[in-house]
Structure 1
Amino acid sequence: MTYPVLSCTAIDARDPRALADFYSALLGLHCRPGDDMPPPPAPDDTDWIVLLDAAERRILAVQDKPYLRPSTWPSEEIPMQLHMDFRVPDEQELEVQRERAEDLGARLLMDRSGDAEEPLYVMADPEGHPFCLLVG
C-alpha cells in the first residue's frame, strides 16, 4: 500500500514575511530560492513563502491571509485549529529556547515547565498561532 507523504505544514499569516523570518530564526530554516524576497501579491494571488531545512526538505509554508483573526487560546472564542510541538532535549534547553522564542517575537501563553512528566511552554508566534516547546 502507498500512503501520502506530508510535504510541509502551511500556516496562515497577516504578515507572511515576518512569520517566515520568525520560524526561520527559531528553527534554523531558510527560504526556498525565489521566496526570499517575494513580490507583493496581486489582489487575487496568494503569497507563499516556503521554508526548507538544511537538507532542502520543505518544512513550513507561510501563506498570506490579511484578514486572519488570531487564536484566543486558551479561550475558545477563536480556537486554535492546529499547533506545532517542538522538542528539546532537556529542561535547560527548554529555558534557552523559550527565551530565544520570546526574543524573536513569541509570547508565553502557558507555563508548564514545572510538570514532572512533560515540562513545556505554550507560546504564541508573532501572528498568534500557538506552539509548544517541550522536553521529550
Structure 2
Amino acid sequence: MSYPVLSCTALDARDCRALAEFYRELLGLHYREGDDPPADGAAPDDSDWLVLLDDQDRRVLAVQEKTDLRPSTWPSEEIPMQLHMDFRVSDADELETQRARAESLGARLLMDRSDDADEPLYVMGDPEGHPFCLLVG
C-alpha cells in the first residue's frame, strides 16, 4: 500500500514576505528558486505564494497571501488556533536561546511552561498570530 507524502505545511498570511522571512530566519531555511525577495530598487514585492526549503532542498513551509486573515486569539477560543507547529530544541538553555531569537524576529510569548519538569516549552505567536511551540524534546 502506498500513502500520500506531506509536501509541506502552508500558512496563511496578510503579509506573505514578512511571514516567510520570519520562518526563514527562525528555522534556517532558504527560498525556492524564484521566490527570493526582490533586489533593492526592483519592482515591489507582489508575492502571494512563497516556498521555503531545508538544506537538502526539500519543501518545509509555504506561505500564501490571505489579506483578510484574522489572527488566532489563543488561548482564548474567540478565534481558535486552527493549526500549530512544534519545534524541538536540545535542552533548557537552547530553549531560552531560541525563545529570545523568535522574539527578536517578531514572535510574541503566548504561554510560558518552561518550568514544566516533563516537557518544558513556550507557546509563541508568529508575526501573523499563528501559535507555535518551542519545546525540549
Question: What TM-score comes out, normalization by structure 2 length?
Answer: 0.93
RMSD: 1.0
Shift, 1:36, TM fit: 1.0
Give CA-to-partner distance per residue, 1:23-71, whole Å, 9 cap, x none.
0000000110101137526xxxxx1000000100000000000110000
Segments of 5+ residues of structure 1 without an aligned counterpart are: 42-46
Residue aligning to 1:106 = 107
What amino acid does structure 2 have at the position aligned with 1:27? L
Segments of 5+ residues of structure 2 without an aligned counterpart are: 39-44
What amino acid does structure 1 have at the position aligned with 2:63? V
SS, match of residue 10 in structure 1: strand
Residue 119 (structure 2) pairs with residue 118 (structure 1):
yes
Alpha-carbon distance in structure 1 between the residues aligned to 2:68 and 2:117: 40
Alpha-carbon distance in structure 1 between the residues aligned to 2:72 and 2:26: 20
Residue pairs, 1:44-83, within 5 angstroms:
47-83=48-84
Alpha-carbon distance in structure 2 between the residues aligned to 1:94 and 1:87: 9
Give CA-to-partner distance per residue, 1:59-109, whole Å, 9 cap, x none.
000000011000000000000110000000100000000000000000000
Identical amino acids, percent of aligned pairs: 78
Residue aligning to 1:44 = none
Alpha-carbon distance in structure 1 between the residues aligned to 2:123 and 2:117: 16
Residue aligning to 1:85 = 86
| Runs of 4+ with >3 A deviation | none
Equivalent residues, number: 131
Question: What TM-score comes out, normalization by structure 1 length?
Answer: 0.94
Alpha-carbon distance in structure 1 between the residues aligned to 2:113 and 2:100: 15
Alpha-carbon distance in structure 2 between the residues aligned to 1:69 and 1:127: 9
Residue 98 (structure 2) pairs with residue 97 (structure 1):
yes
Alpha-carbon distance in structure 1 between the residues aligned to 2:37 and 2:26: 19
